[in-house]
A = this chain, B = another copy of it.
């Protein structure tokens, strides 16, 4: 432990995920007294039709100017 599960809209590259993993693992080691070898991180990538905020799916969100 711990087990970390990150649910977000697909589109991040393997390199971005690598960096997120490194920083989260380090944060849990340094601030959360977790042992590095027991830290698991999983990314659940979902399409933009499958994540909603404030009642609106990301696929339908208008981007501001």
- Residues of A whose CB lies within 8 Å of any CB of B are 1-9, 12, 14, 16-28, 31-34, 36-46, 49-60
Q: Which of B6, B46, B58 contacts A4 (CB 8 A)?
A: B6
The reply to whether A55 and B43 contact each other, CB–CB distance below 8 Å, is no
Q: Which of B25, B32, B52 contacts A40 (CB 8 A)?
A: B52
Q: When A and B form their complex, which 4 residue pairs have the shortest distance between CB atoms, in order from nearest?
A: A2-B8, A23-B27, A25-B55, A43-B50
Q: Which of B32, B37, B42 contacts A46 (CB 8 A)?
A: B42
Alpha-carbon gap, A20 to B50, bound state (A): 11
Q: Which of B24, B42, B55, B60 contacts A7 (CB 8 A)?
A: B42
Q: Which of B17, B31, B38, B43 contacts A16 (CB 8 A)?
A: B31
